[in-house]
Amino acid sequence: MIFIDACKRQPTPYTPIWMMRQAGRYLIEYMQTRERAGSFLDLCKNPELACEVTLQPVEILDVDAAILFSDILVVPMEMGLELGFYQGEGPRFSQTIRTQKDLLLLQEGAENRLGYVYEAIHRIRESLHQEKALIGFCGSPWTLATYMIEGEGSKTYAHSKKMLYGDPKLLHAILAQVSEALKGYLAKQIEAGVNAVMVFDSWAAALEESVYFEFSWEYMKEIASFIKARYPHIPVMLFPKGIAGFLDKIEGDFDVFGVDWSTPMDLAKAKLGDRYVLQGNLEPARLYDRAKMEEGVDHILSIMGKESGHIFNLGHGMMPDLPRENAIELVKMVRQKSAR
Ligand code: CP3
């Protein structure tokens, strides 16, 4: 698989490409399948339909990897927090974890209640072309904790930060419990057939440097080490979004570092390029305009070159109103411009 070769810095005929949130609302096919499922969460819990939407972007865009269709929030949901997704508002939990007593709401063994995910993985791996990789994923403990503490998406992370500075032990207890579930969850995804795993730390940029490393990166590293010790052949990819300022301190046992669009690629290459394969980082909004998209591709390829060590991706997820034609063109463009 060209994507897996690239994760291991082996030579490939071109720079492989896939896109974060490549399955989603910008595809009419996705909207139709979601309709048939009933709701977004019903879709996540339906292995047959989750398989269908996972494969859609592989067929439509011809990307080099599929990413399992699910959501990072199914883990806290299966730890016992009731989850809903609301039109125009995003996800919301009906209970929050803000006190020691609230911790009692969290149940162990969430990884054993996510059978619908493993079933989807089995189905996807059966239908996916053998040259295309399947990526499994989870959210980072910190990013998941913010949702569990706030109850929903947040601009200020006020409750989470109040706990971080006021009751750090409680936050560590939450992070440790989430981490245990995530280790089991990723291990089971691998046993079910995923070829690589990625950890999304979407709200990394909410934290100042010292606390970022203590409350987020340490837990990401711990999960990565756990997977590498058990499954050394499975590439581990970490994506802490928006931490360009902390790149000097990044280290750990993993394979691929996800570069977000706000981090200059030349900076990431200088600081991390020798040690990690870099994945990224086209600003997704460039897909609104064909010429700006090409300019972005040329810029990234001029830095990363045609040698191994790079996987092309967006610097964050596809947005629902991006034109699919440009996504299709992006894949062709990267493949053609990076051909060895
Ligand atoms: O194609 C893929 O990338 C695989 C599927 C995937 C989804 N969510 C599907 C989804 C993945 C990898 C995620 C990860 C995820 N989910 C993250 C981390 C990555 C990132 O974007 O930073 C986060 C923070 C979430 C939590 C989440 N899920 C939010 C905040 C929202 C609402 C915002 C939005 O985009 O609507 C979701 C919903 C969600 N997850 C959708 C999809 C396709 C849209 C749901 C719909 O169909 O209406």
Average pLDDT by stretches of 10, the chain with 340 residues: 98 98 98 97 98 98 98 98 93 98 97 98 98 98 98 96 98 98 98 98 97 98 98 98 98 98 98 98 98 98 96 98 98 98
- Beta partners for 238? 199, 257
Question: Class of 2-257 per CATH?
Answer: alpha beta
Predicted local confidence at residue 232, as pLDDT: 98
Report how far residue 294's alpha carbon sits from residue 36's, in angstroms, rounded to the nearest whole number.
36
Is there a catalytic annotation at residue 34? yes
* Residue with CA at minimum distance from ligand 1 atom 34: 90
At residue 280, the 3 state secondary structure works out as strand
Ligand 1 in reach of 90 Cβ (< 6 A): yes
Please give the structure tokens belonging to residue 137.
Answer: 């994923």
- Residues with Cβ within 8 Å of 325's Cβ and at least 6 positions away in sequence, in order, are none
Residue 339 CA to ligand 1 center (angstroms) comes to 31
Residue type, 276: Y
- Active site residue: 5, 9, 14, 21, which one? 21
Q: What angle do CA 40, 67, 63 make, to 5 degrees?
A: 120
Predicted local confidence at residue 88, as pLDDT: 84
Predicted local confidence at residue 271, as pLDDT: 98
Ligand 1 in reach of 72 Cβ (< 6 A): yes
Residue 21 CA to ligand 1 center (angstroms) comes to 7
Predicted local confidence at residue 87, as pLDDT: 86
Report how far residue 167's alpha carbon sits from residue 160's, in angstroms, rounded to the nearest whole number.
10
Is there a catalytic annotation at residue 71? yes
